[in-house]
Structure 1
């Protein structure tokens, strides 16, 4: 927002003034031109000129009249959330979820791609490019309306640098993945850890709404956590916070740096499948391992019951180590953990009660695979929307 007396580069001043108007309409829908002038501290002729320009571009639309204060009824303006779109994408193991959303962050269309195995960096990028094309065709949204894409990736990501410094599942090690994606898709990219994306999705629109601090724990191909402290996502000095898969929980043979962490090697989905198969249990790798073990135990399998208890003990150990340090208001369980039944939740709560001084409120994730997509979309809106749209002139 630039006041009337401010000087500077004409294009920059215009861009900032446009951004100020758009910001006000995003915060408070249905304002008149006079109200926008008062809130932005811009002159009425300036506001009128910029508003007319943005109406022609489709950014703003007139939506009726307001109450008169002595003269003609003012025409009310509204930010057009359909003017542009944002895309969110999240990689998890052999899966790629992608969605397109409007400028309020509401999902318009969603597609799913199963990645060819084994997954490597090149095949992941090819899948991203092909899935974006399919998504836009499905949704009917023109590519030039997309202002950016948020991409959630497994491993340690450097969000500001746009690099992935450590991702064993894709082979990305200290690579400028953000730049590569931007060149492939010709779109601005916001890169982040996949669990961080999921955490923000649940925080802004799921089970974590309304709390100031939480830990989001995800069990899938790997194990990770997202951390919200005082309503802010905590990333750590090297943007590696929440990499709890490297905790020393479970069998701990020697490992090389490029391999998965001890905790996730033992108690990720893949780790639990290996344990089940070593016990001779008949399990389907295409279905939830937790649901299968619960069913086998209910049918009288003592081996399944023993393995379930080991899994609950392992997961509770990771939770205890995390919450005893952070003392969050809430713990959200996600990924494979959403399949916990009441008996499993009670068992985990019992273990935590024995191990830590204060047990936070525990909830199962509400958004499931949509959590990462909501988080990815939100990251683009937060980073790019105002500045990009303000330059559309």
Structure 2
């Protein structure tokens, strides 16, 4: 929307007009000053003045000439996506994935950090701070060029307040994590659930591109789901949608406040490791537990085969409960489920065909660890449109 300068606060009107110009250049690259004036309904002198200002700031650049329509060939303009940057970070268990991207969302540099055990809130924030410094150095990006950071965290996150109300893996319970991250990093922060970030990344640029509704199911140290309905991320009344780890699937011992849910206690990576050890199976905690069970079962291990079938049954139960309520167009499997072989996928499909009336298209996630980063970057670009920053900042 363009606001004429005759009314309202002059500074606000100027900024809205800048935003209108940048919006047009993001939608349709390589426009002339005259074309921008026509599309924004601003006068040519106004457009020229604002364009020159933004060229000096590095937001817009001249990129050659267009076709003549009777006079001099017009100089074409382009939004400079490299002028500033955004950062995305996602925590999952003992891993931190972090990346810096340009204003188009293209990743420039990426780093993986293994967190020291046991993980707590303070050590996680310290790792975030240290990894950011190394990441910006690797990408050759000054901190002043960073618009903001999107952070995906396990647990129930309240985006507006910047608090994490329930995160058993880090011990964050009703804490203002967003404010603390902003103070440490000196950057605006967009906070969200880690699986929500992954869901948006896969929806915009992965297996879910082009569908209108999907469920993204992630199995790691916990179990969670992201839900897209009518192309919009569904968060629930208290932003706790997708917490499927609390389904009553598997053995259900009494649960104390702050602990993991029954489903994830039984069928998360940690839960499956516990079951394997109870059966006397020798497994490597650093290797995929599903891959090990598939291998041991193929080698003739009876306990491994029993546990593998129990895992398929448990995961299929969680999927059945979810899709029977939401009826999504697509189900995207991620985390430990990425190690499913064709036999395992077929077994889960067979169980679903027995249990639910309609089985969605089931696919493995395409972006893997990049899904969360792409979602985190997208959240910053969506929430912090650079055009809304004060002129000259």
* TM bucket normalised to smaller: over 0.9
Q: Deviations over 1:336-391 (max 9, x none)?
A: 00100000000000000000000000000000011000000000000002345454
Whether 1:306 aligns to 2:306 is yes
C-alpha displacement at 1:57, in angstroms? 0.8
| Matching of residues 58-207 of structure 1 within 5 Å | 58-207=58-207
Counterpart residue number, 2:336: 336
User: Matched residues in 1 for 2:91 and 2:132: separation?
Assistant: 13
Counterpart residue number, 2:57: 57
Note if contact 1:32-1:74 (Cα within 8 Å) is conserved in structure 2: yes
C-alpha displacement at 1:282, in angstroms? 1.2
Whether 1:243 aligns to 2:243 is yes
Computed over aligned residues only, the root mean square deviation of the Cα atoms, in angstroms, reads: 1.0
Structure 1 range deviating more: 133-142 or 217-226: 133-142
User: Matched residues in 2 for 1:331 and 1:6: separation?
Assistant: 52
- For these two proteins, the number of residue pairs brought into alignment is 393
Q: Deviations over 1:60-105 (max 9, x none)?
A: 0011111111111111100001000000000000111100000110
Structure 1 range deviating more: 39-48 or 186-195: 39-48
Counterpart residue number, 1:208: 208
User: Matched residues in 2 for 1:122 and 1:388: separation?
Assistant: 33
SS at structure 1 position matched to 2:182? helix
User: Matched residues in 2 for 1:389 and 1:217: separation?
Assistant: 36
- List alignment gaps of at least 5 residues for structure 2: none
- List alignment gaps of at least 5 residues for structure 1: none
Q: Deviations over 1:212-257 (max 9, x none)?
A: 0000000001000000000000000000000000000000011101
Note if contact 2:22-2:387 (Cα within 8 Å) is conserved in structure 1: no
SS at structure 1 position matched to 2:363? strand
User: Matched residues in 2 for 1:6 and 1:272: separation?
Assistant: 67
Q: Deviations over 1:152-183 (max 9, x none)?
A: 00000001111111111111111111111111
SS at structure 1 position matched to 2:309? helix
- TM-score normalised per structure 2: 0.98
Structure 1 range deviating more: 340-349 or 167-176: 167-176
User: Matched residues in 1 for 2:312 and 2:390: separation?
Assistant: 51
Counterpart residue number, 2:223: 223
Note if contact 2:101-2:107 (Cα within 8 Å) is conserved in structure 1: yes
| Matching of residues 10-21 of structure 1 within 5 Å | 10-21=10-21
C-alpha displacement at 1:36, in angstroms? 0.8
Structure 1 range deviating more: 320-329 or 158-167: 158-167
User: Matched residues in 1 for 2:282 and 2:331: separation?
Assistant: 32
User: Matched residues in 2 for 1:328 and 1:67: separation?
Assistant: 48
- When residues 88 and 392 of structure 1 are mapped into structure 2, their CA distance, relative to the original with a 3 A threshold, is farther
Counterpart residue number, 2:354: 354
Counterpart residue number, 2:367: 367
User: Matched residues in 1 for 2:312 and 2:324: separation?
Assistant: 18
User: Matched residues in 2 for 1:27 and 1:178: separation?
Assistant: 31
- TM-score normalised per structure 1: 0.98
SS at structure 2 position matched to 1:242? coil
- When residues 218 and 391 of structure 1 are mapped into structure 2, their CA distance, relative to the original with a 3 A threshold, is farther
Whether 1:43 aligns to 2:38 is no
Counterpart residue number, 2:325: 325
C-alpha displacement at 1:16, in angstroms? 0.9
C-alpha displacement at 1:2, in angstroms? 2.4
Counterpart residue number, 1:292: 292
SS at structure 1 position matched to 2:50? helix
C-alpha displacement at 1:298, in angstroms? 1.1
C-alpha displacement at 1:5, in angstroms? 5.8
Counterpart residue number, 2:2: 2
Q: Deviations over 1:80-135 (max 9, x none)?
A: 01000000000000111100000110101001111111111111111111110010
Whether 1:271 aligns to 2:274 is no
User: Matched residues in 2 for 1:31 and 1:243: separation?
Assistant: 46
User: Matched residues in 2 for 1:116 and 1:282: separation?
Assistant: 24
User: Matched residues in 1 for 2:388 and 2:249: separation?
Assistant: 46
User: Matched residues in 1 for 2:386 and 2:159: separation?
Assistant: 19
- When residues 232 and 6 of structure 1 are mapped into structure 2, their CA distance, relative to the original with a 3 A threshold, is farther
Note if contact 2:90-2:373 (Cα within 8 Å) is conserved in structure 1: yes
Note if contact 2:5-2:13 (Cα within 8 Å) is conserved in structure 1: no
Note if contact 1:22-1:386 (Cα within 8 Å) is conserved in structure 2: no
